[in-house]
Amino acid sequence: MKKKVAFYTLGCKLNFSETSTIARGFEDEGFQRVDFSEMADMYVINTCSVTENADKRFKSIVKQAQKVNPQAFVAAIGCYAQLKPEQLAAVDGVDLVLGATEKFKITDYINDLSKNDFGEIHSCEIEDADFYVGSYAIGDRTRAFLKVQDGCDYKCTYCTIPLARGISRSDTLQNVLKNAAEISSQGIKEIVLTGVNIGDYGKGEFGNKKHEHTFLDLVKALETVDGIHRLRISSIEPNLLKNETIDFVAKSKTFVPHFHIPLQSGSDAILKLMRRRYLTNLYVDRVAQIRRTMPDACIGVDVIVGFPGETKEHFLETYHFLNELDISYLHVFTYSERDNTVAADMEGVVPKNVRNKRSKMLRGLSVKKRRAFYESQLGTHRTVLFEGENKEGYIQGFTENYVKVKTPWDPALVNTLHDIRLTEIDEDGLVRFEFVRSEVRV
């Protein structure tokens, strides 16, 4: 009988790509992968440390596994496992905790899967996390997350990622292209590029600071891989998103007109406290350049509310800045204190009820922005890639510029591309459409 292993991933697309690669390693060792809700001999939880909730959820996920199989071996890996290994090892039921470098060798640390009295820790000093492990995730049949870069050399005052993932380092261009070809050979239509700071791609390509390639080189090379219908850039720092990259995407046959650009604050004073590497004028320039070259592009924005020192005036500055900016949606994060960060010791702590109120205001603005963007797209001709899930009798998909559409469920549409015309916004906020041609596009 094959041993069974199940995985639970918290956090970002990068974590999902790494979980997928680690899972394939288990399959190579003769394990059978099952869903986390099923009976398994081992449960692996890939943790995140970006938000307070991700930390708190860990205990409930361990309990969830134990409820299904109290005798199962439970391992914790990922960012939180690197930052707080003792804390995770002390959680009842946890048998193994692996840090940043050890997680990719997890099968080396397991023997007979018998339970431990105490969680066993194998965690490196983060300075040792200086080598690169490539990975990609195939979560469904339509889209794959391809990791191209890891770690970060930036020192933003609120962020634990450099402590959890180490220095900025990149996959070799040759390996990225090999992984992209592997993904496309499996019939997957869209690849999403992911990493901690993907605009920094190239640095650490040879295990040191020397590098031959830039993010623009990467983008140009991926354009040449056969069989990929769509390439999407997940998130890129505004100071690293160069005009040359924007111009290339505008002319590209495979890169789609969708950018996600972290802002974090619309107040220059707060950006300086955060030690971000740009001010609002540069951000305005990036958005303007995208709009000049791709008027229908979707532009998403990350923003943090309630950072220490953020006064009512600073927040309103952010609100008005975003309200006037021609963007499509927001990802709003409520600031939460993280140990061993500069911001945790800053003065001017914003009360939690105020943080929550500001967060609610910006989430309301995001709804308004997305609605306005969708309305601007009505009547236009787009291409949709349909997803694989039946959601209450409907199949959903995304256009190249990230408009979410729906139509009555038809399994024949799964993982197919179609030319459509957007017609109206449904009461749930998704967009209805009509087929321009009935046959499958590719």
How confident is the model over 20-78, as pLDDT tens digits?
999 999 999 999 999 999 999 999 999 987 666 666 789 999 999 999 999 999 999 99
Residue 354: alpha-carbon gap to chain centroid? 27
- Tell me what pLDDT residue 13 has: 84
- The pLDDT score that the predictor gives to residue 100 is 86
Is 9:19 a contact under the CB 8 Å cutoff?
yes
Return the pLDDT at 441. 54
Residue type, 364: G
Tokens of 174: 């040759």
- pTM across the whole model: 0.89
pLDDT on residue 209: 62
How many CA atoms lie within 13 Å of 288's alpha carbon, on the beta-carbon side? 7
Contacts 24+ apart (CB under 8 A), 185-188: 185/227, 186/138, 187/141, 187/415, 188/138, 188/141, 188/142, 188/143, 188/144, 188/415
SS3 (DSSP) at 384: strand
Q: Report the Cα–Cα distance between both ends of the chain, in Å, rounded.
A: 41
The stretches in the chain having pLDDT less than 50 are none
Cα separation, 173 vs 419, in Å, equals 33
Q: Which long-range contacts (CB under 8 A, 24 or more apart) does 343-346 make?
A: 343/157, 343/158, 343/273, 343/274, 343/307, 343/308, 346/157, 346/273, 346/308, 346/309
